[in-house]
């Protein structure tokens, strides 16, 4: 989906920022000293101007970044504004190509290449018109209040900005409807099996009591700095806006969705059935993996990884003395009550305890620990049934908001304890929190490099971080080791089922069955995962491909450096570039290996 359209939908849903940032260039002004050459000056001026354009045109992204200037508005989702943003991307690429790359320093050539890669992909994907599918089962305008999770609500102005956004919501809903109608006309719609989840999400907005609206939540609690008179006035105004604008707009949207849109969505789940679908799936596979691997190559890599990990799982099954088949062991892991907490609060307390256990062990595998703290939060109730087990929300660029590890507490009876260690290593520390926090703290690089996000690098690092639990001594329980293998298998299965559904004619049920046959994740999670891959083609391919590359580079460094190899230094080296395509990461690590040899 076009970066700006998807970002608006995803941020509105309160989902993980990587989901949004994966779509196109992240632009921030350079914090380097004024470059000396005219080429470098032009390059850094472009970085700064594009960042400002990105914030101005994407208010939700600005809010995510901690930039409060546009907190009173939504992204303009009219066709005219979308076209203007696409034109802006093409013009930025032309400006970039006019800069003499050979006149730049080595560091700025990397900046140039990363920026060019992202801009080229943003322009290439325009022809697929992803903005005609502005909502998904995982988020969109149906839960636009999710952006409030990252807003400060520290002053009266913060609340008035939220009131302004609430008043502007009917126009945003109308713009989304116009895009969806155009999508129907163009045959560019999401699969019906996913859209059938959306009416229940819209239903949460259809309240008779304004104080029960998700949009009212910020008004239920005020900071001490806001006086009683202002509190009463703000609450009164909020109730009025919700009753007179927000709820009626959602009632109209609900009728449109049920009567006009849902019946016209497509029965097919495959990306190849979209307009120019084969080229589209080839594109997203290349885009998300930052490689030139074909769907067939990725599918075969997945099959080999599935076979390897099944062998490792068999060893754990034997270690714990389970006498049945691997399938029976999976069923045991999914159903035995000892593997589950009874209440959401117990599950949340368990996540907090695991995070505290991980923190002191990080020094075993890193020399550099990021300064930015992180916390643990529950995923909002209105999206929890339809989203993943957990996700990470990065902190604000200026350090005024910590990073947060969001965990799903819906149905604790399907959230096994044995998955919690690997999940926490991936989503919090040393996974995404280290990656984003370290990136923002990198010295002497432009800010777009500090906060950028390439999925193969970012999710590859998260999956690699799960395996660092062995180096930290955190997998002493064989069931926790089974959890790590289950998560490794989860990402291997993705390679098979994503390519299977989108390029090989697999059905949804076939993909669910393959997943259930090869991983002990519960059916609730498996169905949500499969639906995520259907709705977001190609993204799930990046995790395993990225992990395999980082693991390959670690093995290369171990062999070439021998006794000189330092795991802590290697892990720091992987993170010190910020997020980059895998080819750039490999070049960096190759240079790091040579530097270690020379040292």
Q: Residue 473's pLDDT is what?
A: 98
In this predicted structure, the answer to whether residue 277 has a pLDDT above a threshold of 70 is: yes
CA-wise closest residue to 313 among 300, 291, 328: 328
Average pLDDT over residues 211-223: 97
Preceding omega of 430 cis (within 30 degrees of 0): yes
In sequence order, what are the beta bridge partners of 393?
404
Residue 217 has phi, psi (to 5 degrees) of -50, -45
Phi-psi region of 28 (alpha: psi -120 to 50; beta: other; left: phi over 0): beta
Average pLDDT over residues 155-183: 98
Residues 410-441 have pLDDT tens digits of: 999 999 999 999 999 999 999 999 999 999 99
In this predicted structure, the answer to whether residue 231 has a pLDDT above a threshold of 50 is: yes
Sign of the alpha-carbon dihedral angle for 279, 81, 76, 47: positive
Whether residues 288 and 434 share a domain: the answer is yes
Number of domains in the chain: 2
Whether residues 414 and 536 share a domain: the answer is yes
Q: Residue 26's pLDDT is what?
A: 37
Q: 3-class DSSP state for residue 143?
A: helix
Whether residues 532 and 465 share a domain: the answer is yes
Q: Residue 98's pLDDT is what?
A: 98
Whether residues 434 and 538 share a domain: the answer is yes
Whether residues 450 and 416 share a domain: the answer is yes
Q: Residue 336's pLDDT is what?
A: 97
Average pLDDT over residues 526-545: 96
- What's the Cα-to-Cα distance from 77 to each of 151, 169, 180, 313, 528, rounded to whole Å? 21, 12, 11, 48, 28
Lowest mean pLDDT among 74-88, 179-193, 365-379, 389-403: 389-403
Q: Residue 342's pLDDT is what?
A: 96
Average pLDDT over residues 168-197: 98
Sign of the alpha-carbon dihedral angle for 88, 93, 98, 100: positive
Whether residues 517 and 371 share a domain: the answer is yes
Whether residues 226 and 366 share a domain: the answer is no
DSSP string, 263-282: GGSBS---GGGSTTHHHHHH
Residues 319-344 have pLDDT tens digits of: 999 999 999 999 999 999 999 999 99
Residues 474-514 have pLDDT tens digits of: 999 999 999 999 999 999 999 999 999 999 999 999 999 99
Q: Residue 28's pLDDT is what?
A: 40
CB atoms inside a 10 Å sphere around CB 36: 9
The share of the chain scoring above pLDDT 70, in percent, equals 94
Whether residues 211 and 300 share a domain: the answer is no
Say if 346 falls within a structural domain.
Answer: yes
Whether residues 294 and 252 share a domain: the answer is no
In this predicted structure, the answer to whether residue 354 has a pLDDT above a threshold of 80 is: yes
Count of all residues that appear for the chain in the document: 599
Say if 590 falls within a structural domain.
Answer: no
Say if 460 falls within a structural domain.
Answer: yes
Provide the domain limits for residue 420: 283-547
Average confidence score pLDDT of the chain: 92
Confidence at 444, pLDDT banded by 50, 70, 90: confident
Whether residues 250 and 133 share a domain: the answer is yes
pTM score > 0.85 for this model?
A: yes
Q: Residue 490's pLDDT is what?
A: 94
Whether residues 217 and 342 share a domain: the answer is no
Residues 553-579 have pLDDT tens digits of: 999 999 999 999 999 999 999 999 999
The share of the chain scoring above pLDDT 90, in percent, equals 87
Whether residues 419 and 332 share a domain: the answer is yes
Find the helix or strand (DSSP H, E) in which 394 lies: none
- What's the Cα-to-Cα distance from 451 to each of 65, 149, 426, rounded to whole Å? 9, 19, 18
Q: Which of 508, 524, 547 is the last residue of a domain?
A: 547
Find the helix or strand (DSSP H, E) in which 374 lies: strand 374-378
Say if 27 falls within a structural domain.
Answer: yes
In this predicted structure, the answer to whether residue 134 has a pLDDT above a threshold of 90 is: yes
Residues 14-54 have pLDDT tens digits of: 333 332 222 333 334 444 445 568 999 999 999 999 999 99
In this predicted structure, the answer to whether residue 12 has a pLDDT above a threshold of 70 is: no
The C-alpha atoms of residue 94 and residue 86 are separated, in whole angstroms, by: 13
Residues 372-406 have pLDDT tens digits of: 999 999 999 988 987 889 999 999 888 889 999 99
Q: Which of 547, 564, 588 is the last residue of a domain?
A: 547
Say if 583 falls within a structural domain.
Answer: no
């Amino acid at each position: 989906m076009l970066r700006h359209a998807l970002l608006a939908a995803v941020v509105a849903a309160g989902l993980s920022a990587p989901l949004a940032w994966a779509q196109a260039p992240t632009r921030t002004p350079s914090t380097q000293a004024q470059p000396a050459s005219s080429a470098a000056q032009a390059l850094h001026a472009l970085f700064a101007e594009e960042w400002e354009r990105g914030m101005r045109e994407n208010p939700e992204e600005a809010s995510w970044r901690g930039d409060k200037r546009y907190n009173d508005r939504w992204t303009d989702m009219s066709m005219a504004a979308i076209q203007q943003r696409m034109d802006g991307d093409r013009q930025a690429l032309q400006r970039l190509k006019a800069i003499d790359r050979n006149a730049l320093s080595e560091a700025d050539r990397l900046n140039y290449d990363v920026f060019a890669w992202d801009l080229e992909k943003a322009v290439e994907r325009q022809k697929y018109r992803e903005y005609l599918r502005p909502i998904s089962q995982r988020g969109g305008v149906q839960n636009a209040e999710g952006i409030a999770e990252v807003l400060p609500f520290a002053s009266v102005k913060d609340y008035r900005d939220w009131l302004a956004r609430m008043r502007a919501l009917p126009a945003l809903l109308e713009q989304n409807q116009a895009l969806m109608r155009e999508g129907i006309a163009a045959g560019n719609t999401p699969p019906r099996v996913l859209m059938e989840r959306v009416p229940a999400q819209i239903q949460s907005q259809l309240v008779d009591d304004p104080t029960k609206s998700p949009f009212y939540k910020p008004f239920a609690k005020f900071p001490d700095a806001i006086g009683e008179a202002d509190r009463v006035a703000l609450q009164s105004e909020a109730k009025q806006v919700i009753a007179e604008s927000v709820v009626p707009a959602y009632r109209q949207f609900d009728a449109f969705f049920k009567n006009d849109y849902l019946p016209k969505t497509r029965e097919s789940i495959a990306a190849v059935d979209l307009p120019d679908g084969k080229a589209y799936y080839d594109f997203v596979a290349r885009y998300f993996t930052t490689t030139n691997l074909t769907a067939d190559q990725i599918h075969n890599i997945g099959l080999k990884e599935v076979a390897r990990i099944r062998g490792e799982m068999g060893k754990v099954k034997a270690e714990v003395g389970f006498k049945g088949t691997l399938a029976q062991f999976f069923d045991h892991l999914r159903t035995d009550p000892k593997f589950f907490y009874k209440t959401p609060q117990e599950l949340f307390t368990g996540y907090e305890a695991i995070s505290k256990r991980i923190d002191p062990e990080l020094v075993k595998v890193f020399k550099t620990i990021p300064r930015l703290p992180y916390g643990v939060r529950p995923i909002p109730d209105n999206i929890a049934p339809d989203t993943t087990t957990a996700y990470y929300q990065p902190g604000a660029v200026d350090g005024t908001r910590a990073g947060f590890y969001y965990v799903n507490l819906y149905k604790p009876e399907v959230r096994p304890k044995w998955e919690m260690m690997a999940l926490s290593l991936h989503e919090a520390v040393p996974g995404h929190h280290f990656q984003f926090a370290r990136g923002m703290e990198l010295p002497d690089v432009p800010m777009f490099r500090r906060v950028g996000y390439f999925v193969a690098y970012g999710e590859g690092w998260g999956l690699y971080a799960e395996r660092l639990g062995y180096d930290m001594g955190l997998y002493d329980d064989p069931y926790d080791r089974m959890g790590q293998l289950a998560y490794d298998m989860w990402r291997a299965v993705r390679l098979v089922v994503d390519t299977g559904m989108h390029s090989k004619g697999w059905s949804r049920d076939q993909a669910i069955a393959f997943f259930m046959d090869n991983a002990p994740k519960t059916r609730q999670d498996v169905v949500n995962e499969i639906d995520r891959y259907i709705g977001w083609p190609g993204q799930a391919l990046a995790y395993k491909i990225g992990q395999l590359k980082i693991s390959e580079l670690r093995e290369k460094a171990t062999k070439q450096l021998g006794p000189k190899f330092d795991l802590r230094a290697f892990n720091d080296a992987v993170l010190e570039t910020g997020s980059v395509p895998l080819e750039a990461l490999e070049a960096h690590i190759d240079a790091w290996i040579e530097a270690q040899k020379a040292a």
